[in-house]
Structure 1
Amino acid sequence: MATILVADDDEDIRDVVSFKLGNAHHTVVVAADGAEALRIASSRDLDLAVLDVRMPGLTGVEVCRRLRQDPATAALPVILLTAQSEEGDVEAGFAAGADDYIAKPFSPREVGSRVQALLARSRS
Structure 2
Amino acid sequence: MKTCLVVDDSSIVRKIARRILEEMSFQVIEAEDGVDALVVCKRAMPEAILLDWNMPVIDGYQFLGHLRRMPGGETPKVVFCTTETSIDHISRAIDGGANEYIMKPFDKGIVTAKFQEVGLIELTEPTV
After TM superposition, is the score higher than 0.5? Answer: yes
Mapped to 2, the partners of 1:17 and 1:2 lie a distance apart of 15
State the match for 2:34 in structure 1: 34
Mapped to 1, the partners of 2:17 and 2:63 lie a distance apart of 19
Computing the radius of gyration from Cα coordinates, the structure with the larger value is 2
Deviations 1:93-124 (A, max 9, x none): 11211000111122232113312332159xxx
Gaps in structure 1 of 5+ consecutive residues? none
State the match for 1:60 in structure 2: 60
TM-score w.r.t. length of structure 1: 0.90
The Cα RMSD (Å) is 1.5
Greater shift in the superposed pair: 66-75 or 56-65: 66-75
State the match for 1:106 in structure 2: 106
TM-score w.r.t. length of structure 2: 0.87
Equivalent position SS for 2:94 = helix
Greater shift in the superposed pair: 64-73 or 80-89: 64-73
1:15-34 to 2 correspondence within 5 Å? Answer: 15-34=15-34
State the match for 2:84 in structure 1: 84
Gaps in structure 2 of 5+ consecutive residues? 123-128
